[in-house]
Amino acid sequence: MKVTESIGLMEPMLPPDGERKLEDLAMDLATKASGLASQLSPAVRQGVGDLVRSMNCYYSNLIEGHDTHPRDIDRALMQADYSADPQKRALQHEAVAHIEVQRLIDHQEDLEGESTSQDYLIWLHREFCERLPDEFLWVQNPDTGERLRVIPGELRKGWVQVGRHIPPNAEELPRFLNRFTEAYDGRRLSRVRQIIALGAAHHRLLWIHPFYDGNGRVTRLMSHASLIRCGIGSSLWSVARGLARNVKEYKELLMAADAQRRGDLDGRGTLSTQTLTDFCEFFLTICIDQVDFMASLLEPNDLLRRMRLHILEEVDAGRLPKGAFPILREALLAGAVPRGRAAEITGYGERMARNVVSDLLKKGYLKSDSTRTPLVLSFPIDAIERWFPRLYPAA
């Protein structure tokens, strides 16, 4: 007779009700996140969102040990300029894959329904892996040396071990994923419980380990989508940056949450309630820290001050034309600048004003859909370190 694994092996799915510290963190996160988007105009928010997607991709891949330089990401994304070095080129393709899938999420072009449903998780894996180079679609069994191909959107069909943790058998995955979907269905949870559940779902999906490879990226993309669906996430901040900057604690707490229940005072599930609570507290604290960080970077007066210092230095060095800063300032504060106003803003004649605009477009400080549409602010890689310090690690 075939023995099936009980889905109770991954209980509890949530920390207990009434955990005051978690509830306070959830409310703090909701309050701070709701104010972040109000700092910028819609057009500038879109540009910052493009920048943050690249940042999120960089840090998510860094957690996996894949360090792709931001300039290499920018070259691949903006210019389709891929390295001649095979390994670096593959990492660039991986980065672009992550960014493209997150763009689908941010622009609400992803799969409808709950972000914790089995269909959504399979969609995430398929969309990400279909964009990867072939060399990233193979895994090796460390015991037998057998190479297995990762099929985009396909649940694993064999046994795996992750550190000391042995995830559910492959044939049991649908049952565990059904329980996962049921437990984190936002329609069954209050707003506060939805937010607290973000960390729990993050751990439990990694515990299930539904795919041969790509589980980390899928889990972080799922968390990003879940944050958006419960009304606190946006394209303006990334939990992945905080997880990567605290990667040792992140991995230690993930591993700790795999532990069995530690006696009668540690809940009633198979797994430890306390270590799951600890991970949820860590996850929410990281989210709040990243919202605070981006709010400080995007505060208009401070951002304008950093932009001004940088642009004036570039003008003095002859790398940007005089008149650049007034147009960039207007693009930040107004969100979009009609081309016909360039002369008025710079105080130059029409021809000289057009030359200023042309130079800023060429160097990536401005962008426009056509020669007739308004100018909006853009963020070239050369300016990011000055305008957004500490967004990436120091080179």
Q: 52-98 pLDDT, tens per residue? A: 999 999 999 899 998 888 888 888 887 787 888 888 888 888 999 99
Give percent of the chain above pLDDT 70.
98
In this structure, are 232 and 206 located in the same domain?
Answer: yes
Q: Which of 298, 327, 362 is the last residue of a domain?
A: 298
Residue with tokens 């964009």: 131
Residue 393 domain-assigned (yes or no): no
Instruction: Please give the structure tokens belonging to residue 389.
Output: 């310090």
CATH number of the domain within which 254 lies: 1.10.3290.10
Instruction: Measure the CA–CA gap between 288 and 220, rounded to whole angstroms.
Output: 16
pLDDT in the model for residue 25: 98
Same domain flag for 196 and 321? no
Q: Is 260 helix (H, G, I), strand (E, B) or coil?
A: strand
pLDDT digits (tens, 9 = 90+) for 377-395: 999 988 998 999 999 886 5
Q: Please tell me whether residues 350 and 315 are part of one structural domain.
A: yes
| Final residue belonging to a domain, choices 270, 298, 326 | 298
From residue 322, alpha-carbon distances to 247, 311, 363, 376 in Å are: 44, 9, 14, 19
320 and 260 within one domain: no
- Residue 4 placed within a domain: no
Q: How large is the average pLDDT for residues 101-117?
A: 93
| 119 plus 220 within the same structural domain | yes
Average pLDDT over residues 230-253: 94
Q: In this structure, are 323 and 263 located in the same domain?
A: no
Give me the percent of the chain exceeding a pLDDT of 90.
72
The CATH number of the domain holding residue 320 is: 1.10.10.10
Average pLDDT of every residue of the chain: 92
Q: Tokens for 315, please give them.
A: 């003008």
What is the structure's pLDDT at 1?
45
Residue with tokens 């005051």, as numbered in its chain: 20
Residue 365 included in any domain: yes
Domain count, the chain: 2
Q: Are 388 and 373 in contact (CB under 8 A)?
A: no
Q: The tokens of 149 are what? A: 């191909």
What is the length of the chain? 395
212 or 163, which is more confident: 212
Q: Are residues 261 and 320 in the same domain?
A: no
270-295 confidence digits (pLDDT tens): 999 999 999 999 999 999 999 999 99
Contact 287, 29 (CB under 8 A): yes
DSSP per-residue letters across 269-329: SSB-HHHHHHHHHHHHHHHHHHHHHHHHHH-HHHHHHHHHHHHHHHHHTTSS-TTHHHHHH
**Same structural domain for residues 378 and 277?**
no
Q: Predicted confidence band at 151 (pLDDT cuts at 50, 70, 90)?
A: very high
Both 69 and 154 in one domain: the answer is yes
* CA–CA distance, 283 with 25 (Å, rounded to integer): 10
Mean pLDDT along residues 108-123: 94
Instruction: Let me know whether 249 and 367 are in one domain.
Output: no
Residue 45 located in a structural domain = yes
Q: pTM to 2 decimals? A: 0.93
- What is the pLDDT at residue 244? 95
185-230 pLDDT, tens digit per residue, is 988 999 999 999 999 999 999 999 999 999 999 999 999 999 999 9
Query: Are 276 and 200 a contacting pair, CB within 8 Å?
Result: yes
Query: What does the pLDDT look like over 20-59, one tens digit per residue?
Result: 999 999 999 999 998 887 888 888 888 899 999 999 999 9
**Residue 197 in domain:** yes
Does 279 lie in the same domain as 214?
yes
Judge whether 269 lies within some domain: yes
C-alpha span between 395 and 388 (Å, rounded): 14
Q: Per the domain annotation, does 95 fall within a domain?
A: yes
For 260-272, write each residue's pLDDT tens digit: 999 888 889 999 9
Domain assignment present for 274: yes
Q: Quote the DSSP letter at residue 187.
A: G
Query: Are the C-beta atoms of residues 168 and 208 closer than 8 Å to each other?
Result: yes
Return the bridge partners of 337, or none: 375
Range of the structural domain that residue 311 is part of: 300-386
From the number of C-beta atoms within 10 Å of its C-beta (0-12, 13-18, 19+), residue 84 rates as: exposed
DSSP code of residue 99: H
Query: β-strand 147-149 against 376-377: which pairing, if any?
Result: unpaired
Domain boundary among 298, 327, 343: 298
Same domain, 323 and 370: yes
pLDDT, tens digit, 9 for 90 and up, residues 323-361: 999 999 999 999 999 999 999 999 999 999 999 999 999
Is the pLDDT at 122 greater than 50, yes or no? yes
